């Protein structure tokens, strides 16, 4: 119950400002006036090694330098965001007296920028001090995210990282993590592999579905509207993209779906599928995102017996015209799950694989239930249902 009160209190009290969104062609090169108007002088640019080698990256750095900005580059070395990357980037940010961060990449790079910005504005001795809900009292310095994938991170009020000391996946939630500027630029995204594009978009879809059915979501209809937008855009465009892999307009549509997905999560934290994914990441060191949609499908099949969850899924099914508006909620909810399962089978190349060792199920249940209490979820799936979900993943 304490977790439920905490997330509801955070959601009601939090105040999130507007973001500047750039969608035009070559929008990464149109940032100059925005940055100058906001007082930028010294920029920490966060990317990964593959992005660092791209022509658009060099063009952006040259453009910023020619306009009088000082730029300093920090490359992440891992596919997951590790605590050591945040600490390394924070050191460079401080040593070179930076005032702005630009991230180029997907969730790991964006979350790295968020947490470097947060730690620079809220000095702490350890990253673990900011883990949890609403522990960042001070606003972050200017943060601009240039999306190369279709993730939700550019608009979420959260960030995630792997704590190597504790071997735990950690989540930080605060309205002070929201980037002030978001850029969707197909010059970068069209260079992202098909598999990564699909994986990040499916992750955004899972996140926004769980946001819509969250116990807290009904308090904030404007954020649920963002979830409907995200779900509609992603469902309509993902299958199209499998048939038109070079279509930059469809890529941009999917990225906008990711943008709305992030908006939908700002008040509600994370859902069961995400928590299960985190727990499996920590235990088995699997790739983030692998199997998340499959996990969500199992979760929804267990949650559909809850009347409020059933109603939420039915509302989504009817909004996406998966069924008649007169269909009873239980049948409409089933149609939503069926269509999600169908989409996953159509667009994903992921082979069904075992994600769980049966001997670990009791340990995993304990870890999942501990985190679920923080997000007001503990009453929505019981231990028996969790056991069935994990058994299906063995």
Last residue of a domain, one of 189, 219, 241: 189
pLDDT tens digits, one per residue of 147-182: 887 888 999 999 999 998 888 888 898 989 999 999
DSSP 8-state code for residue 350? P
Same domain assignment for residues 267 and 185: no
Predicted local distance difference test score (pLDDT) of residue 64: 96
Question: Do 234 and 291 share a domain, yes or no?
Answer: yes
How many residues does the structure list for the chain?
Answer: 394
Q: How far apart are CA 229 and CA 160, in angstroms?
A: 24
Cα(first)–Cα(last) distance of the chain, in Å? 31
Among 272, 275, 230, residue whose Cα is nearest residue 255 = 230
Q: Are residues 296 and 318 in the same domain?
A: yes
In this prediction, residue 11 has a pLDDT band, given cuts at 50, 70 and 90, of: very low
Residue 28 lies in a domain: yes
On whether both 159 and 271 belong to a single domain, the answer is no
4 within some domain? no
Which of left, alpha, beta for 212 (phi over 0: left; psi -120 to 50: alpha)? alpha
- Considering the domain architecture, whether residues 53 and 158 belong to the same structural domain is answered as yes
For 324-335, how does the pLDDT look when each residue is reduced to its tens digit (9 = 90+)?
A: 999 999 999 999
Task: Give yes or no for a contact between 151 and 106, defined as CB atoms under 8 angstroms apart.
Answer: yes
Is 70 exceeded by the pLDDT of residue 131? yes
- Is pLDDT at 16 greater than 70 in this prediction? no
| CA 107 – CA 146 distance, rounded (Å) | 11
Q: Please state, in angstroms and rounded to a whole number, the distance separating the CA atoms of residues 89 and 394.
A: 38
Reading the block at residue 180, the tokens are 């002030």
Residue holding tokens 């870890």? 367
Which DSSP helix (H) or strand (E) runs through 100? strand 100-105
pLDDT for 6: 53
Lowest mean pLDDT among 3-12, 110-119, 127-136: 3-12
Residue 118 lies in a domain: yes
Q: Looking at the predicted structure, is the pLDDT value of residue 5 above 90?
A: no
Residues 231 and 342 in one domain: yes
- pLDDT of residue 313 exceeding 60, the answer is yes
The mean pLDDT of the chain is: 88
Least confident range of 218-222, 253-257, 332-336:
218-222
Q: What is the mean pLDDT of residues 208-214?
A: 94
Beta-strand pair 168-173/158-163: antiparallel
Dihedral-angle region of residue 149 (phi above 0 means left; psi in -120 to 50 means alpha; beta otherwise) = beta
Tokens of 159: 């960030």
Tokens 């809900």: give the residue.
133
Percent of the chain with pLDDT strictly greater than 70: 93
The predicted model gives 24-37 an average pLDDT of 83
CA distance 106 to 84: 18
Strand ranges of the sheet holding 20-22, from the earlier edge strand across to the other edge: 20-22, 181-184, 142-147, 100-105, 42-48, 70-76
- Among residues 49, 75, 76, 71, the alpha carbon closest in space to that of 60 is found at 71
Phi and psi of 97, rounded to 5°?
55, 45
Contacts of 385 (CB under 8 A, 6+ apart): 302
CA gap 184, 353 in Å, rounded: 33
| Domain containing residue 387: CATH number | 1.20.1090.10
At which of 132, 163, 189 does a domain end? 189
Q: Do 362 and 261 fall within a single domain? A: yes
Dist CA 73 CA 105 (whole Å): 13
Does residue 115 sit in the same domain as residue 256? no
Report the domain count for the chain.
Answer: 2
Q: What residue numbers bound the domain in which 225 lies?
A: 194-392
Residues 232 and 255 in one domain: yes
Judge whether 345 lies within some domain.
Answer: yes
Does pLDDT of 56 surpass 70? yes
**Residue 30 — pLDDT band, cuts 50, 70, 90?**
confident
Question: Which SS3 state, helix, strand or coil, does residue 321 take?
Answer: coil
CA distance 326 to 141: 50
Nearest to 207 by CA among 170, 183, 234: 234
**Residue 209 counted as domain residue:** yes
Alpha carbons within 13 angstroms on the beta-carbon side of residue 56 total 21
Same domain, 249 and 141: no
CB 227 within 8 A of CB 212: yes
DSSP assignment of 227-285 equals HHHHHHHHHHHHHHHHH-TT-HHHHHHHHHHHHHHHHHHTTT---HHHHHHHHHHHHH-
């Amino acid at each position: 119950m304490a977790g439920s009160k905490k997330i509801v209190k955070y959601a009601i009290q939090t105040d999130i400002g507007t973001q500047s969104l750039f969608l035009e062609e070559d929008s990464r090169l149109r940032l100059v006036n925005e940055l100058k108007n906001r007082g930028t002088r010294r920029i920490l640019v966060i990317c990964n090694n593959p992005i660092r080698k791209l022509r658009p990256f060099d063009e952006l750095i040259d453009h910023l330098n020619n306009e009088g900005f000082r730029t300093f580059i920090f490359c992440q070395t891992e596919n997951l965001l590790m605590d050591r990357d945040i600490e390394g980037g924070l050191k460079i940010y401080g040593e070179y007296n930076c005032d702005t961060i630009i991230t180029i990449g997907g969730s790991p790079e964006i979350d790295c920028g968020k947490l470097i910005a947060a730690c620079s504005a809220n000095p702490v001795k350890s990253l673990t001090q900011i883990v949890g809900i609403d522990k960042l009292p001070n606003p972050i310095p200017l943060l601009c995210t240039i999306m190369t994938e279709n993730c939700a991170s550019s608009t979420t009020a959260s960030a995630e990282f792997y704590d190597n000391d504790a071997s735990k996946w950690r989540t930080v939630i605060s309205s002070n993590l929201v980037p002030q500027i978001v850029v969707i630029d197909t010059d970068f995204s069209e260079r992202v592999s098909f598999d990564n594009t699909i994986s990040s978009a499916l992750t955004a879809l899972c996140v926004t579905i769980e946001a819509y059915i969250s116990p807290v979501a009904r308090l904030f209809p404007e954020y649920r509207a963002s979830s409907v937008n995200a779900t509609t855009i992603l469902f309509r465009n993902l299958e199209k993209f499998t048939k038109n892999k070079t279509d930059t307009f469809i890529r941009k549509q999917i990225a906008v779906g990711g943008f709305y997905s992030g908006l939908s999560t700002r008040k509600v934290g994370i859902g069961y599928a995400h928590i299960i994914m985190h727990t499996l990441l920590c235990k088995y060191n699997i790739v983030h995102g692998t199997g998340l949609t499959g996990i969500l499908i199992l979760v929804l099949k267990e949650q559909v017996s809850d009347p409020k969850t059933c109603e939420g899924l039915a509302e989504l099914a009817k909004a996406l015209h998966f069924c008649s508006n007169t269909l009873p909620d239980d049948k409409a909810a089933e149609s939503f799950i069926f269509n999600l399962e169908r989409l996953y089978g159509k667009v994903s190349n992921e082979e069904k694989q075992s994600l769980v060792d049966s001997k670990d199920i009791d340990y995993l249940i304990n870890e999942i239930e501990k985190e679920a209490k923080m997000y007001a979820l503990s009453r929505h799936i019981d231990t028996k249902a969790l056991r069935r979900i994990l058994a299906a993943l063995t």
